[in-house]
Amino acid sequence: MDINRRRFVSGLGAVGLAGVAGCTGNDGGGGGDDVDANVGMVYATGGLGDGSFNDQAQTGIQNAADEFDINYDEVQPGEVSEFSSQQQQFAQSTSPDYDLVSCIGFLQGDALSENAEQYPDQSFQIVDTVVDADSVASYVFAEHEGSFLTGLMAGQLTGMEFEAGAGATTSDSTNVGFVGGIESDLIQKFEAGYVSGVKHASEDVEVQTSYVGDFNDPSGGKEAAISMYDSGADIIYHAAGNTGTGVFEAAKEQGRFAIGVDRDQSVTAESYADVILASMVKRVDTAVYNAVEETVNDEFEGGRTVPLGLEEDGVEAVYGQDLGGEIPQEVKDAVASVRDEIIAGDIDVPDSP
């Protein structure tokens, strides 16, 4: 198998992709027609290194590059306003000609709706929202289902005297929290599932919620989390991208617990593994990999929505590498049982607060 090629394209402006032809991939060459597919990756705001959503998407393209002879180029938009031009630059490129443009994150939906119409012959993938266009395959996750499981765990643990790693529950409250990034229909799915799971454990548990308004504001995440911990929260679940790093910082400082998102953050944010009870993993990597595989095999189909829930292993609750072994078996058994009930349709998880 040929060595796969990657170029990292940063700060794209009017010069466009043609202006970075001198960038090299990891075999010293750029993209071209000598590969099975050329893929353009447009990441969500917050960028790579977030330890969650974008990094999970990058894992998908890296896994595809390990398996297939592909070239992929990457851009990290700093603002929502950059999505449209960066999608266009991949779609307009002829050297290389991109077989697939993968758009990561629901905030790209508006820009892609316009660009899909403007470039009907370009194949696009979008993750986390639906774009109704013949050239777009939309991959959406049942975040509320996976979040229900983390909420059930949190709701049970806050009612116990539980100590593990660097964290402990308080004996005088049954209280948990949720910190979101940008308040939107998507992030509210995380909130709705989590709160529903908490209440399934016990109606008496109080749930605090807060939206920071940004996916790349760790200081804002920390401030929101400290306020919740000071108000009695034992455990906080975040769906906030890099903003969630601040939640982990607060948990460690306050001697409480946190729940990660999108990836196993006890691994990707290892310095906080002693306070991360679990993570609600979204298999964005699988969505990206599958779209690339279909492209390589000439099987990619636009105009469809691909659902990824618990039944499809699109989401899952993963216990932390340090603390997972400390969580009582009765809690784990309850989570496993409820997971089966959700898949069987016996529990209907709400997707909005």
For 312-348, the pLDDT digits (tens) are 999 999 999 999 999 999 999 999 999 999 999 999 9
DSSP per residue, 26-73: TTS----TTSSEEEEEEPPTT-TTSSSHHHHHHHHHHHHHHHS-EEEE
155 lies in the same domain as 260: yes
96 lies in the same domain as 198: no
Structure tokens at 236: 């906080």
**Beta-carbon-side half-sphere exposure of residue 190 (alpha carbons within 13 Å):** 31
> What burial letters (b/e) apply to 231-270, b meaning 16+ CB within 10 Å?
ebbbbbbbbbbbbbbbbbbbbbebebbbbbbbbbbbbbbe
CATH number for the domain that contains residue 88:
3.40.50.2300
Please compute the mean of the pLDDT values over residues 82-103 and round it to a whole number: 97
Q: What range defines the domain where residue 46 resides? A: 5-141+284-308
What per-residue confidence (pLDDT) applies to 30? 45
Residues 6 or more apart in contact with residue 310 via CB below 8 angstroms: 142, 145, 146, 316, 339, 342, 343
What per-residue confidence (pLDDT) applies to 33? 65
For 197-220, the pLDDT digits (tens) are 999 999 999 999 999 999 999 999
334 lies in the same domain as 213: yes
Q: Considering its fold, how many domains does the chain have in total?
A: 2
Contact criterion met (CB below 8 Å) for 210 and 224: yes
CB atoms within 10 A of CB 29: 14
For 19-69, the pLDDT digits (tens) are 332 222 333 334 566 899 999 999 999 899 988 899 999 999 999 999 999
What per-residue confidence (pLDDT) applies to 7? 52
Q: Look at phi and psi of residue 41 and say left if phi exceeds 0, alpha if psi is from -120 to 50, else beta.
A: beta
| Measured distance CA(216)–CA(51) in Å, rounded | 12
Residues in a beta bridge with 39 = 72, 100
Within-domain flag for 186: yes
136 lies in the same domain as 77: yes
What per-residue confidence (pLDDT) applies to 6? 54
For 277-321, the pLDDT digits (tens) are 999 999 999 999 999 999 999 999 999 999 999 999 999 999 999
Can you state the percent helix, strand and coil of the chain, rounding each to 5? 40, 20, 40
Q: Alpha carbon of 203 to those of 200, 223, 255, 299, 340: distances in Å?
A: 7, 27, 25, 48, 22
Q: Does the bond joining 328 to the residue before it have cis omega, within 30 degrees of 0?
A: no
For 120-132, the pLDDT digits (tens) are 999 999 999 999 9
Residue that has been written with the tokens 């777009």 in this structure = 136
152 lies in the same domain as 90: no
Within-domain flag for 353: no
What per-residue confidence (pLDDT) applies to 62? 97
Contact criterion met (CB below 8 Å) for 317 and 149: yes
